[in-house]
Amino acid sequence: MDKNKITILAIETSCDETAAAIIMGPKKVKNVNFASPKIKSNIIYSQLDLHQKTKGIVPEVASRAHIEKIIDVISAATKNAKIGLKDIDIIAVTVGPGLIGSLLVGIDTAKSLAYILGKPVISINHIEAHLYAVFARKIKQRKIFPAIAMIVSGGHTSILLMRGHGEYRLLGTTIDDAAGEAFDKVAKILSLSYPGGPNISFEARKAKNLKDSKEMIQFPRPMIDSDNLDFSFSGLKTSVLYKIRDLGDKKTRQLKPKLADQFQKAIIDVLIEKISKAARIYQAKSIILGGGVVANELLRSKIRKKVQNIKPKINLLIPELRLCTDNAAIIGLCAYYQYLKNKRCLKNFKSIHADLSPKF
Ligand code: KG4
Ligand code: ZN
């Protein structure tokens, strides 16, 4: 093993993915902005099949499945990275937010490994880790910060000002449902399966081929013009519900692609408007996106177009698709940057605990 490199085993079990990854990067760098950690392996066991049966996650079912898979997933991560457990220098683990039973499986596995191997642990905030998906790629720009970061996932929709690695200020958040949660709930209303995001997107793509219908479908863009950076998506979900009640079963079935398309457009318009507004106010050098909803193709293409028109020029950092939804590579990347910044993040396993509302 290269003595100048650090090897991190990352573990993620906060929700319904059992995941482990190996991240490797230089121990020291001249400028943290130009660090280039590598993802050596990224193994995800998705519990999707289990939860599709119940149209949502049953926490006890999720934790049991994590217990059954965690060792296999870690073994596959070390095998794919062509390393052994003895080569691991640091263990990174998600401590929250998430489902407590699920989190504890990852945390206790990390602690047991740290005890046996005599290695330190870094505890990771799952939401913060979503922002580190973009740092899987070498960033070309000299100036990344100040950046405006937006996390849009199943559990969170927040805008943050990022002045440097690990330096955050919360600027706005959802006052009710998260964007991903709205996708999931509206999918259920439209009888589409879980998770809602990809299925709504898929349905919406058929809207172009729908024979012209006179039915006017348009949904509100909640809080799009409000003078803050907060979001609210629960009213949008209710509007979809009222619309399908008015349409009745037959028309709802016929117009499903149009309903999905219009809902998706409403949510994306709000997300893009708010992030552009924040970037303007704080004269951001970059926009960083993270979270499952960032896998949405329409969001990705619309924000690319929008950012091209912002002056002065701004860097748009969007994660690769495979790193948008939950995985352990983002946990390892986040841990790597914490390690570079401050070695005090390395903890003895005894002081690692679940934390359902970790602070930024
Ligand atoms: O980040 P993530 O994997 O888990 C959380 O930390 O919550 O995000 C999951 C969320 C789900 O709500 C899912 O519906 C949404 O991300 N999602 C999408 C897409 N793919 C996943 N939403 C919109 N479009 C997508 N293509
Ligand atoms: Zn997540």
- Determine whether the shortest distance from the Cβ of 326 to ligand 1 is under 6 A: yes
Residue 179 Cα distances to 175, 230, 253, angstroms: 11, 12, 24
> Tokens representing 156?
């969170």
Model confidence over 233-262: pLDDT tens digits?
999 999 999 999 999 999 999 999 999 999
pLDDT of residue 56: 80
pLDDT at 160 > cutoff 80: yes
In short, whether 135's Cβ falls inside 6 Å of ligand 1 is no
Residue 33's pLDDT band, with cuts at 50, 70 and 90, is confident
User: What pLDDT is stored for residue 142 in this prediction?
Assistant: 77
Please indicate whether residue 96, judged by its CB atom, sits closer than 6 Å to ligand 1. Answer: no
Q: What backbone phi and psi angles, to 5 degrees, belong to 25?
A: -160, 165
Distance CA 232, CA 49 (A): 30
Residue 312 has pLDDT above 90, yes or no: no
Contact 263, 293 (CB under 8 A): no
Protein residues within 5 Å, CB atom, of ion ligand 2: 153, 326
- pTM for this predicted structure: 0.96
Beta bridge partners of 232: none
Three-point CA angle 54, 55, 61, nearest 5°:
45
* Residue 210 confidence (pLDDT): 83
Distance CA(152)–CA(134), nearest Å, equals 14
The pLDDT mean for the chain works out to 95
pLDDT of residue 245: 96
Residue 187 Cα: closest atom of ligand 1: 14
> pLDDT for 327-360, tens place per residue?
999 999 999 999 999 999 999 999 999 999 998 7
In 3D space, the residue among 194, 165, 170 whose CA is nearest the CA of residue 357 turns out to be 170
Mean pLDDT for the stretch of residues 29-41: 89
| Ligand 1 and 197: CB distance under 6 A | yes
Encoding tokens for residue 135?
């740092």
Please work out whether the CB of residue 110 comes within 6 Å of at least one atom of ligand 1: no
Strands of 157-164's sheet in order across: 167-173, 157-164, 147-152, 286-290, 315-317
pLDDT in tens, 166-216: 999 999 999 999 999 999 999 999 999 888 999 999 999 999 888 767 778
